[in-house]
Structure 1
Amino acid sequence: MASATDQLNRPLGVLRLSLTARCNLACPYCLPDGVEPPGLLTLAQRLAVIEAAVTLGAHSLRLTGGEPLLHGGLEELIAAVQALRARAPGSPGLREIALTSNGTLLSPERARALRGAGLDRITLSLDGTTGAAVARMAGVGNGDALLAKVLAAIEHARAAGFDPGRGALKLNAVIQRGANDDQLLPLAALARERGLELRLIEFMDVGNRNGWRPEAVLSAAAMVERIRARWPLEPLGRSAHGTASRWRYSDREPDGGGVLAVVASVSAPFCGDCNRLRVTADGIAYTCLFAAPGSGLDLRPWLQPDSPADAVSRVIAGLWSRRSDRWSEERQEAWAHGTPPAPAGAPAHAEMAYLGG
């Protein structure tokens, strides 16, 4: 089947597959409710979805949650997906299998198991460098213990072969004005010290429980300026279909001091070349992170044992061909004209923990 493109000629390139809506933290910008949706996909169904997406041009698989380390079949899934690898540079197939985790459950044994199963890259989340900041942003107590676990997880991942110099180990941080923006420089210092790429993410209006308001957004440009005032930065740009604009510390060797990246989903949206398909743990496909609840397509009717082999490929191709989402750009255009980004009474967004972030 030919590669899929949408109404704006955007190709399907990345499948973000959620494995669970459960999480062991309660980060206020996400606020999972701890409830697993009914009818979770089986291993065979997940593999069918991944194979269908690859058939349609997806080259990257990103495993998410909730917290994906809570999923007991994680390593089995990663190992099974190896059969879909691209056989040569530029050929169809998966070129990358990545995982996003809060890191608190990543033991040395689990890190080695993930690497051994064939995971290419792991991104860990850390929103502060002090116990107080970590507890505040994780929504749970004992921030000192959580901080220690994540810092240890970085080293467990590195020891297992996830090399930050090759982009196989990165650090995510969601920055919210008035909540943890005082952690910008300490987080940058920590990432520089450990040679990690630090990805700073704007506080986004995903879901209905996180109390989002525009005033709480610290723009990516403001984050860069704060850090540039402390260390010299050289722009590396944003790759095609990428989410982050990247910067190099010019006082360090290219491979010696980490990289700064910023994800400006609110202030400088990149809908124009977004190539991501999201599938929830219970098999609902969404074509936008800012989608309304109930707007996704349930893939399970095409994932039954008696379904034709190409059924799910065809239904995903149809969904993608109808796609015209550009919510963040439309919101920005509405703000520029002094109007709300959506009419009063419009459906709210689906929850981040359900969509997989």
Structure 2
Amino acid sequence: MASVNDQLDRPMGVLRLSLTARCNLACPYCLPDGVEPPGLLTLPQRLAVIEAAVALGVTSLRLTGGEPLLHSGLEDLVAAVQPLRRQGLREIALTSNGALLSGERARTLRQAGLDRITLSLDGASGEAVAAMAGLSGGEPAGEALLAKVLAAIEHARAAGFAPERGELKLNAVIQRGRNEDQLLPLADLARQRGIELRLIEFMDVGNRNGWTPEVVVSAAEMVAVIAERWPLLPLGRGAGSTARRWRYCDRDTADSGGTLAVVASITAPFCGDCNRLRVTADGLAYTCLFAAPGSGLDLRPWLTPEAGQADLREALAGLWRQRSDRWSEERLEVWNTAGPPANGPASAEAPRHAEMAYLGG
């Protein structure tokens, strides 16, 4: 079957596959409840989903959670996916908070065939890290987690994930009133370690994180703060990418740590070329990060021994062909006309979204 386009002529290009809804942290912008959905997909079922997605045009697989390093079969899945490279899969990536990434785990993932790792770190001090990770132990617990993530960066680098080739990056969600004072420290940390920092606007995903427009630090504000300290040259946003990138003017473009990126889903949405299909750990396929809870297509009827791969491909193709999601753009259009709501999405008339830990971010 050839690749398929949705109602807005957007092809399917990226599969974000969640392996678990569990997490070892409790970050306030995600707030996982620690409850694993029943009926998690098996390894053969996950492979069937990935194969069908690749047949429909997916070239990039990103493994997510929750925290995917909690999934004991992670390396087996990465290794089992390798034959699909001959069918068009170009990249296998992992998003992790890094707390569980030991040197041995980084090596086994690389040996299994993982291409890229993105680690998350929302502060450069123990106090900020504790607040943003939901740690009850305060600053000492935050310092311990910070040390683990910094060690994870070096473990990944030693295993062969090269920042200068874009194989190792650092994510940071910035929330006003919590960690906006960490912009310069985080940028400095990333520059010192030669790794691209990706700043992410706090998003209204899920219903538990207390999101309101007032707590969003815009991409423009974040870039301005950093550019005042280190002048930046805009590099733009690649087609299908979530991030706009800048180069530090005091670094050559080939230097590791020479770039900054910002994901601006709130203030500069990129729905126009979004190519992401999301599948939860229990087999629900969603076509938007801001989808309503329970609205995903249950793939399990096509993942039984009796079902065929062709039927699964057609089910996914049918879902994608009817896709017209552009939630972030629609929200911004409303705001540009009437202004953002004073009470945010917690109001009774506001739409509810599936939780981030369930969808895989």
Counterpart in 1 of 2:252? 253
Counterpart in 1 of 2:197? 198
Counterpart in 2 of 1:316? 316
Q: Which amino acid in 2 is paired with 1:109?
A: E
- Answer whether contact 1:175 1:218 (CA < 8 A) is retained: yes
CA distance in 2, matches of 1:168, 1:74: 18
CA distance in 1, matches of 2:217, 2:351: 25
Aligned pairs (5 A) from 1:110-125? 110-125=105-120
Q: 1:356 and 2:360 equivalent? A: yes
Counterpart in 2 of 1:37? 37
Q: Secondary structure at the match of 2:171?
A: strand
CA distance in 2, matches of 1:187, 1:255: 21
Compute the TM-score of the two structures, normalised by the length of structure 2: 0.96
Q: Secondary structure at the match of 2:307?
A: coil
Q: 1:279 and 2:279 equivalent? A: yes
Q: Which amino acid in 2 is paired with 1:110?
A: R
1:258 offset after TM fit, Å? 2.9
Counterpart in 1 of 2:133? 138
1:344 offset after TM fit, Å? 4.9
1:93 offset after TM fit, Å? 1.0
- Answer whether contact 1:191 1:258 (CA < 8 A) is retained: no
CA distance in 1, matches of 2:23, 2:152: 17
Q: Which amino acid in 2 is paired with 1:194?
A: R
CA distance in 1, matches of 2:244, 2:96: 21
Counterpart in 2 of 1:297? 297
1:345 offset after TM fit, Å? 3.5
Counterpart in 1 of 2:123? 128
Q: Secondary structure at the match of 2:338?
A: coil
Counterpart in 2 of 1:5? 5
- Answer whether contact 1:199 1:260 (CA < 8 A) is retained: yes
Counterpart in 1 of 2:220? 221
CA distance in 1, matches of 2:143, 2:309: 50
Cα shift readout 1:211-233 (whole Å, capped 9, x = no counterpart): 00000000001100000000011
Which one has a larger percent helix, Structure 1 or Structure 2?
A: 2
Counterpart in 2 of 1:212? 211
Q: Which amino acid in 2 is paired with 1:356?
A: G
- Answer whether contact 1:64 1:101 (CA < 8 A) is retained: yes
Aligned pairs (5 A) from 1:169-180? 169-180=168-179
Q: Secondary structure at the match of 1:161?
A: coil
Counterpart in 2 of 1:89? none
Q: Which amino acid in 2 is paired with 1:10?
A: R
Q: Secondary structure at the match of 1:83?
A: helix
Q: Secondary structure at the match of 2:178?
A: coil
- Answer whether contact 2:278 2:285 (CA < 8 A) is retained: yes
CA distance in 2, matches of 1:7, 1:178: 39
CA distance in 2, matches of 1:295, 1:78: 28
Compute the TM-score of the two structures, normalised by the length of structure 1: 0.97
Unaligned runs of 5+ in 1: 87-91
Cα shift readout 1:13-58 (whole Å, capped 9, x = no counterpart): 0000000000000000000000000000000000000000000000
CA distance in 1, matches of 2:317, 2:143: 47
Over aligned residues, Cα RMSD in angstroms?
1.2
Equivalent of 2:94 in 93, 99, 109: 99
- Answer whether contact 1:293 1:347 (CA < 8 A) is retained: no
Q: 1:328 and 2:328 equivalent? A: yes
- Deviation beyond 3 Å, 4+ runs, structure 1: 339-347
Cα shift readout 1:140-159 (whole Å, capped 9, x = no counterpart): 12101000000000000000
Q: Secondary structure at the match of 1:85?
A: helix
Unaligned runs of 5+ in 2: none
CA distance in 1, matches of 2:273, 2:132: 31
CA distance in 1, matches of 2:166, 2:258: 10
- Answer whether contact 2:252 2:258 (CA < 8 A) is retained: no
Counterpart in 2 of 1:147? 146
1:347 offset after TM fit, Å? 4.0
- Answer whether contact 1:132 1:144 (CA < 8 A) is retained: yes
Q: Secondary structure at the match of 2:229?
A: coil
CA distance in 1, matches of 2:222, 2:63: 27
1:252 offset after TM fit, Å? 1.1
Cα shift readout 1:246-283 (whole Å, capped 9, x = no counterpart): 00011012222331000000000000000000000000
